[in-house]
């Protein structure tokens, strides 16, 4: 008991009571928590949700981001459109150019202040009309890997396209620039791109509210 | 071209802006011959809907002549068309189910960032109704770029005048869908809160669909008079206790279906401040939330609640208990305009539906600001304003 309080010689006020009760509850809570944390927890089986929706944001060094979209077109058509990488810049707004030489693809990505980032990838595996998996190679500005898969949607709704990208958030000045490109809102960017893909495949055009070609 | 543009709260002006062009293959450009100010435009005018930028062209009820077509448009130059306020692609899952206002593909991807966290999914693009619904330039202008022109616009044959068909663009299908959502059966009473254009068209539609009686609730004498002329019984809520009255007018049962044609659009679009806005405005805005609560209290057990009135954010003190315990059904949504236009055009042509009774004022586009001012502040007399460009 401190000097201030001993000097006051008064009874227990409402505030003191609340304080004591509060402290007591806190202590009881702490004891309960300590008790619980010492109990061996029964193993929880994994749920059915895709890993990227986990509350855990990182997998090792990799940040993972992904998104699904259902496109009301046949699976073969959607796959073929994606597999022709020159189509990708039609719905990926940051991709300025895509060049393919053999199984090696070079992506030129527009960065702020007129600069560009170059990503070089190689297809690791692919199954026609089902899946394309790629990984970055030596000399790429970003260490990344990704997968896009195509499945029939139920009830004749077309094709479910699921795109997942993992990348190592880079460091340094270049890294900051890249982080601006990819790290800020990778989910939003992925969503924009898949929605534009859907627009293009379903309607033949990408919706815009521009009133003039030059706007 | 000349166009009505937004400059700030209670500040709209007719400016000269660049003419629209064909941008996408399915586009058409329409030369507007008639356009109207909608009650929901007043929420933009009041500055309560965020995402309206200075210079945005307003207006979502319009019709005109086709002057330019993209290579995939099915329209032909010179055709007279009414354009639905909902922009719909006609190809996506929702359009195939005739849920046109839920179109996946008409709201530009980068404009959907605000709506997804707020609603879970973005809705279709709309003309002239803020960046949140796509930022499409609106129809209170001399020319409009119409995307997906092969799906939306309905070609009007010679015969009916512009004024007879203009409201196919929004309020007539909206009133019709409100009544359709009541699943009207023989002997039913439908009670309609709000005798604005949508409420009045809902009254007309419910009677056409065979309602035994329609009760219209408002406080503007002129608007109640219009409802009475359509065949409704009316309640002036300033004079009468509404809950008691509707019960007594339905043999103690309550209306079988209720329509909230008032809405609460002004109560915020942004997720982080929508709740606060409602709380701040509760003293002023409680009447508007009050309509939905009162309608739910008034409707009979097992009845239907139809809500064409537009809401944007959140509502507190929602009578969840009454809703669940009475076993109600609730149907709502932005109107799937394209689903109704052909049937309603036929009914207009056959003389079954007249919409011109609603028009109180006709102004040249150049006088649109005066139209907004009066439609806003003198609602009793200014029931509907039709604007004519180029006059």
Predicted confidence at residue B317, as pLDDT, reads: 80
Distance of CA A75 to the CA centre of its chain: 24
Q: Which residues 29-58 in chain B show a CB within 8 A of chain A? A: none
Q: Look at B131-145, B174-188, B273-287, B319-333 and tell me which has the smallest mean pLDDT.
A: B273-287
Q: Look at A183-197, B118-132, B137-151, B213-227 and tell me which has the smallest mean pLDDT.
A: A183-197
Question: Where is pLDDT greater, at B293 or B31?
Answer: B31
Residue B80 has pLDDT above 90, yes or no: yes
Question: Where is pLDDT greater, at A176 or B49?
Answer: B49
Question: Is the pTM of the predicted complex or chain greater than 0.80?
Answer: yes
- Are residues B143 and B1 in contact, defined by beta-carbon separation less than 8 angstroms? yes
Of A157, A193, A213, the CB nearest to B23: A213
Residue B127 has pLDDT above 80, yes or no: yes
What superfamily would CATH give domain A52-203? Answer: START domain (3.30.530.20)
Q: Which residues 220-279 in chain B show a CB within 8 A of chain A? A: none
Distance from CA of A211 to the nearest CA of B (A): 5
pLDDT band of B94, cuts 50, 70, 90: very high
- Are residues B368 and B390 in contact, defined by beta-carbon separation less than 8 angstroms? no
Q: Round to whole Å and give the CA distance between A88 and A92.
A: 6
Predicted confidence at residue B280, as pLDDT, reads: 43
The residue behind tokens 């030059």 is A214
Predicted confidence at residue B287, as pLDDT, reads: 37
Mean pLDDT, to the nearest integer, of B213-221? 96
Q: Is it true that domain B172-332 has CATH number 3.20.20.70?
A: no
Predicted confidence at residue B43, as pLDDT, reads: 85
Q: Is it true that domain B2-170+335-388 has CATH number 3.40.50.150?
A: no
Of A192, A193, A203, the CB nearest to B91: A203
Of B96, B108, B116, the CB nearest to A209: B108
Predicted confidence at residue A12, as pLDDT, reads: 56
Profile chain A (215 residues) by mean pLDDT over runs of 10 residues: 45 60 62 62 82 71 85 98 91 87 88 80 96 93 91 97 84 63 65 94 97 87
Secondary structure (DSSP) of A4-17: HHHTT-----HHHH
Mean pLDDT, to the nearest integer, of B122-136? 93
B157-197 pLDDT, tens digit each? 999 999 999 999 999 999 999 999 999 999 999 999 999 99
CB contact under 8 A, B24 and A208: yes
Write down the ipTM of this complex: 0.90
Q: Which chain A residue has the Cα nearest residue B70?
A: A205
A151 Cβ contact list (under 8 Å, min separation 6): A75, A130, A159, A160, A162
Residue A52 tokens read as 């990227």
Angle at B219 between CA B217 and CA B220, to 5 degrees: 115
Predicted confidence at residue A175, as pLDDT, reads: 64
Helix, coil or strand: residue B136: strand
Q: Which chain B residue has the Cα nearest residue A212?
A: B21
pLDDT band of B282, cuts 50, 70, 90: very low
Predicted confidence at residue B331, as pLDDT, reads: 97
Every domain of chain B and the residues it spans: 2-170+335-388, 172-332
Of B18, B26, B93, the CB nearest to A157: B93
- Are residues B106 and B125 in contact, defined by beta-carbon separation less than 8 angstroms? yes
Mean pLDDT, to the nearest integer, of B351-379? 96
Predicted confidence at residue A54, as pLDDT, reads: 77
**Chain B residues closer than 8 Å to A204 by CB:** 25-26, 72
Residue B123 tokens read as 């809705």
A51-85 pLDDT, tens digit each? 777 776 566 777 778 889 999 999 999 999 999 98
Question: Where is pLDDT greater, at B313 or B137?
Answer: B137
Predicted confidence at residue A117, as pLDDT, reads: 84
């Amino acid at each position: 008991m401190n000097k201030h309080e001993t000097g006051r010689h008064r009874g227990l006020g409402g505030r003191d009571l609340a304080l004591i009760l509060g402290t007591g509850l806190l202590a009881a809570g702490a004891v309960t928590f300590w008790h619980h944390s010492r109990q061996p927890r029964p193993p929880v089986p994994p749920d059915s949700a895709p890993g990227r929706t986990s509350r855990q944001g990182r997998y090792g060094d990799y940040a993972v981001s992904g998104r699904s979209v259902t496109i009301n077109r046949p699976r073969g058509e959607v796959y073929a459109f994606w597999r022709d990488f020159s189509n990708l810049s039609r719905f990926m707004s940051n991709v300025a150019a895509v060049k393919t030489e053999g199984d090696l693809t070079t992506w030129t990505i527009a960065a702020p202040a007129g600069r560009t980032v170059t990503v070089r990838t190689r297809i690791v595996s692919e199954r026609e009309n089902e899946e394309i998996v790629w990984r970055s190679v030596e000399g790429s500005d970003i260490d990344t890997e990704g997968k896009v898969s195509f499945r029939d949607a139920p009830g004749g709704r077309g094709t479910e396209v699921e795109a997942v990208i993992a990348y190592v958030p880079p460091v340094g000045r270049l890294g900051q620039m890249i982080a601006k490109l990819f790290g800020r809102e990778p989910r939003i960017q992925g969503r924009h791109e898949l929605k534009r893909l859907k627009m293009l495949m379903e309607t033949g055009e990408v919706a815009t509210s521009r009133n003039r070609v030059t706007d | 071209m000349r166009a009505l543009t937004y400059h700030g709260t209670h500040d709209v002006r007719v400016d000269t802006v660049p003419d629209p062009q064909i941008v996408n293959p399915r586009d058409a450009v329409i030369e507007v011959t008639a356009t109207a100010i909608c009650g929901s435009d007043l929420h933009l005018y009041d500055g309560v809907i965020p995402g309206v930028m200075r210079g945005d062209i307003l207006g979502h009820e319009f019709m005109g002549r086709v002057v330019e077509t993209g290579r995939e448009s099915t329209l032909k130059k010179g055709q007279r068309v009414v354009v639905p306020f909902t922009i719909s692609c006609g190809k996506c899952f929702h359009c195939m189910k005739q849920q046109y206002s839920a179109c996946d593909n008409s709201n530009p991807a980068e404009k959907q960032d605000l709506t997804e966290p707020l609603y879970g999914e973005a809705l279709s693009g709309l003309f002239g109704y803020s960046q949140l619904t796509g930022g499409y330039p609106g129809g209170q202008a001399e020319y409009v770029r119409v995307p997906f022109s092969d799906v939306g616009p309905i070609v009007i044959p010679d015969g009916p005048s512009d004024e007879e068909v203009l409201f196919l663009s929004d309020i007539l299908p909206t009133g019709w869908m409100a009544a359709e959502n009541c699943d009207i059966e023989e002997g039913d009473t439908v009670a309609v809160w709000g005798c604005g254009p949508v409420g009045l068209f809902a009254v007309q539609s419910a009677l056409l669909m065979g309602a035994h009686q329609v009760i219209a609730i408002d406080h503007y004498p002129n608007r109640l008079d219009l409802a009475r002329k359509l065949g409704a019984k009316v309640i002036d809520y300033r004079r009468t206790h509404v809950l008691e009255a509707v019960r007594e007018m339905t043999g103690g049962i309550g209306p079988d279906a209720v329509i909230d044609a008032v809405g609460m659009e002004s109560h915020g679009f942004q997720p982080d401040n929508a709740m606060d806005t409602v709380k701040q405005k509760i003293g002023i805005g409680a009447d508007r939330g009050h309509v939905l609560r009162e309608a739910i209290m008034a409707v009979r057990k097992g009845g239907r609640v139809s809500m064409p009135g537009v809401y944007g954010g959140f509502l507190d003190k929602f009578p969840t208990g009454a809703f669940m315990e009475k076993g109600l059904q609730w149907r709502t949504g932005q109107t799937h305009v394209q689903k109704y236009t052909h049937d309603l055009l036929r009914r207009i042509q056959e003389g079954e539906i007249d919409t011109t009774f609603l028009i109180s004022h006709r102004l040249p586009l150049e006088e649109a600001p005066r139209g907004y001012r009066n439609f806003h502040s003198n609602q009793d007399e200014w029931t509907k304003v039709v604007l004519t460009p180029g006059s």
